[in-house]
Amino acid sequence: MKNFVYESPTKIIFGKGTELQVGQEIVEKGAKKVLLHYGGGSIKKTGLYDRVVKSLEEAGVSFVELGGVVPNPRLSLVYKGIELCRNESVDLVLAVGGGSVIDSAKAIAVGVPYEGDVWDFFDKGIVPETALPVGCILTISATGSETSASSVITKEEGWLKHAFRYDRIRPTFAILNPELTITLPAYQTASGGTDIMAHLMERYFTNEPNVDLTDRLIEGTLQTVIKYLPIALKDPENYDARAELMWAATIAHNGILDTGRIGDWASHRIEHEIGAIYDVAHGAGLAVVFPAWMKAVYSHDVARFVRFFHRVWGLEPDFWNPEKTVLDGIAVMENYFRSIGMPVTLEELGVPDDRLEEMAEKSNWNGPVGQFVPITTEKALEILKLCRGHI
Amino acid sequence: MKNFVYESPTKIIFGKGTELQVGQEIVEKGAKKVLLHYGGGSIKKTGLYDRVVKSLEEAGVSFVELGGVVPNPRLSLVYKGIELCRNESVDLVLAVGGGSVIDSAKAIAVGVPYEGDVWDFFDKGIVPETALPVGCILTISATGSETSASSVITKEEGWLKHAFRYDRIRPTFAILNPELTITLPAYQTASGGTDIMAHLMERYFTNEPNVDLTDRLIEGTLQTVIKYLPIALKDPENYDARAELMWAATIAHNGILDTGRIGDWASHRIEHEIGAIYDVAHGAGLAVVFPAWMKAVYSHDVARFVRFFHRVWGLEPDFWNPEKTVLDGIAVMENYFRSIGMPVTLEELGVPDDRLEEMAEKSNWNGPVGQFVPITTEKALEILKLCRGHI
């Protein structure tokens, strides 16, 4: 187990009706004027927007608003948000939505007090000095952005999708009401659930020995997601299933499952390149990339993969032929993804295979990706080709 | 799953050599003068005291000190600490030791700014308005006090042992170096490990349905402790085993495994009464009480106990006779406790059975205890009698 520092100060307010506490929570944080940041407007259809505004007004919090965040959130809207916050002297950014909205809010929050171009943080590794506080009301169980210190933004010019990490953009509070996810389309529920699973698997596949406790915590969280995702799809109004998924999404990504170990993250980096060009749902892209990545790297540590498919997916290990257990396991996982309506090939994802070289190269813009096995441009291309499926 | 608020802001600094960061950490928290609070002086023998003092001096942090905390920490020393902090204008209480030292530090921290008697918080349910910040360097994996918001203090007059909870006594930082536990006597290692197990089991046995994720996280943490405790006993210098136990102790009690559920805590309350009179090691007392409590209550939810002994202890369920699985499981657990040198009867604990009525009554000083099954005075007496073993 490696030395580590763990700090996850986000206050989590979880459960039915909790969005009505948002105004009070902002007052407690000492903020007076917020940027209300959201996506395509579904929060207006569901009535969430009205409940949030009511709570803000009752608490005496004033606000300006900026909607229009899209999946794979764009840098141009971040610039707009920064300008608006500066002109209106906003002192907290409130994200109401999913991971894209929260990521966009984080980028705005760190951009407001910075004199240079906010993209510097994503592109040049410049370390910020401060940021506005961020709060959020989550509407989809997926990215874990609600307690994470990271943000992923896409720059339209060149379709560059880069991630950035800074402790002070971690939300100061996160309101998690599983009821808000009941109206999600099935595809988004499944894609979000797949993203949670991917976050857990990225952490699971590590070269660090002696991390049994976090191994087991990851396994248990993954088993929970695997169980409840089909239940939520079959019975969208099942609060208990929605609640398990929402809490699992947060635990998967709040840092506790990283402690003492180094995760992989190559699959995410490769998927980012697909998402940057083709604008696919992040989780759907991961359902395609992750099995391909596994096929390309499992021989690096067969035992870890056997234990994974045994403990998490319930496969009986073939002790004479452990590699068979792994390949069987990958097939079981692919079938699971198909059963929840996710694609497992590029074709099923709606992505042509004529720009694989370009994506492989872009994945390595900053050198090989992945900690479990370093994925070079060549290896990334091998994985992307495997994403075409059994051809 | 119940609605909940989860906030665990303690900064955890985990790993080898981390005690050398204490001075810097205190400076970052803005404190200038600390109370260095510790136990019987083992930290002087091991050299830890010198390393801490050196780190404080190098960071320019001045300090006064108060040693002498004993297991089942006493109110009289808390009073002394409060007076010392007031006279010396201390602005942070630094606990260097185990749960008793940290609990004592917390009581001092909340007592300093309070005009009345600090025992009011433990006895009368008075809610404090503020507290000094607390930091800690942990030397035993056990109570989880390093990130918890609670403190247990014993008042010598009447030997009353009461717990108290307040968010602002939660340590602001916790330095966890597993190396510091290598010199612990075997009995303390085993007793500490049993305490961790008890914290997990107190949370596991709940009446709240639909808490699958936290069930699984508790199971995984418990499996880790069960595996590594015998390894640490056999090979005390095994860093990896010590590290798993230390991180498990913290996760067991930092609040994340409480989310959405209500734990039981009757066994702790009953053990407190034994500890208050006979001053036994807390974990050893729990090794006696927990199996007895299980025998007295398992019929309330046989299925939960079967799943517990199946998933955590590896027992094959007897589907025709689930009660047999439970009783077999309790026997397996008792054998485990014996194998790590823990007592499982009052006699083995060195406690006579002539004051059981008194303990049963005191456990109910504030009404029946326990949430899974409410334990009245009568039921507490039944459990205490079961603690005598198979007589």
The minimum CA-CA distance between B274 and chain A, rounded to whole Å, is 32
Strand duo B160-165 + B150-155: pairing: antiparallel
> Do the Cβ atoms of A213 and B256 come within 8 Å?
no
> Do the Cβ atoms of A4 and B14 come within 8 Å?
yes
Whether chain A has a CB inside 8 Å of the CB on B87: the answer is no
The pLDDT of residue B159: 87
CATH superfamily, domain at A186-386: Dehydroquinate synthase-like - alpha domain (1.20.1090.10)
Of A185, A302, A196, A279, the C-alpha closest to A232 is A185
Nearest CA in chain A to B147: A7
The pLDDT of residue B161: 86
pLDDT, mean over chain B: 96
The pLDDT of residue B390: 66
Nearest CA in chain B to A172: B7
Whether chain B has a CB inside 8 Å of the CB on A251: the answer is yes
- Tens of pLDDT, residues B223-263: 999 999 999 999 999 999 999 999 999 999 999 999 999 99
The minimum CA-CA distance between A256 and chain B, rounded to whole Å, is 9
The minimum CA-CA distance between B2 and chain A, rounded to whole Å, is 7
| Half-sphere exposure in the Cβ direction for B265 (13 Å, CA) | 12
Residues in B closer than 8 angstroms to A5, CB to CB, are 11-14
Whether chain B has a CB inside 8 Å of the CB on A213: the answer is yes
Positions in chain A short of pLDDT 70: 390-391
Strand duo A62-66 + A150-155: pairing: unpaired
Nearest CA in chain A to B251: A256
* Beta-strand runs (E) in chain A: 4-14, 33-38, 62-66, 92-97, 134-138, 150-155, 160-165, 173-176
CA A159/CA A275 separation, integer angstroms: 9
The pLDDT of residue A155: 95
Residues in B closer than 8 angstroms to A210, CB to CB, are 240, 243-244
Instruction: Report residue B283 as tokens.
Output: 């974990």
Strand duo B62-66 + B92-97: pairing: unpaired
Residues in A closer than 8 angstroms to B213, CB to CB, are 220-221, 224, 244, 247-248, 251
Whether chain B has a CB inside 8 Å of the CB on A220: the answer is yes
What residues 8-27 of chain A have any CB closer than 8 A to a CB of chain B?
8-18
Fold designation for B11-180: Rossmann fold (3.40.50)
The minimum CA-CA distance between A147 and chain B, rounded to whole Å, is 11
- Please name the residues in contact with B222: beta carbons below 8 A apart, sequence gap of 6 or more: B197, B200, B201, B204, B312
Q: What burial class does residue B301 get, using C-beta atoms within 10 Å of its C-beta: 0-12 exposed, 13-18 middle, 19+ buried?
A: middle
Would you list the domain boundaries of chain B? 11-180, 186-386
Which of B14, B216, B243 is closest, CB to CB, to A6?
A: B14
Which of A8, A15, A216 is closest, CB to CB, to B4?
A: A15
The minimum CA-CA distance between A355 and chain B, rounded to whole Å, is 40
The yes/no answer to whether this complex scores an ipTM above 0.90 is yes
CA B374/CA B265 separation, integer angstroms: 10
CA A110/CA B149 separation, integer angstroms: 32
Which of B4, B216, B243 is closest, CB to CB, to A220?
A: B216
> Do the Cβ atoms of B240 and A213 come within 8 Å?
no
The mean pLDDT values, 10 residues at a time, for chain B of 391 residues are 96 98 97 97 95 98 98 96 98 97 98 97 94 98 94 93 92 98 96 97 98 98 98 98 98 95 97 91 96 98 98 97 98 98 97 96 95 98 93 51
Whether chain A has a CB inside 8 Å of the CB on B1: the answer is yes
CA B146/CA B128 separation, integer angstroms: 20
Whether chain B has a CB inside 8 Å of the CB on A350: the answer is no
CA A225/CA A290 separation, integer angstroms: 16
C-beta separation of B134 from B92 below 8 A: yes
The pLDDT of residue A390: 66
> Do the Cβ atoms of A12 and B6 come within 8 Å?
yes
Of B112, B102, B52, the C-alpha closest to B81 is B112
State the count of interchain CB pairs (< 8 A) between A and B. 115
C-beta separation of B21 from A32 below 8 A: no
Nearest CA in chain B to A15: B3
The pLDDT of residue A41: 86
CA B122/CA A37 separation, integer angstroms: 45
C-beta separation of A168 from A279 below 8 A: no
The minimum CA-CA distance between B5 and chain A, rounded to whole Å, is 5
Gyration radius of chain A's alpha carbons: 20
- Tens of pLDDT, residues A240-264: 999 999 999 999 999 999 999 999 9
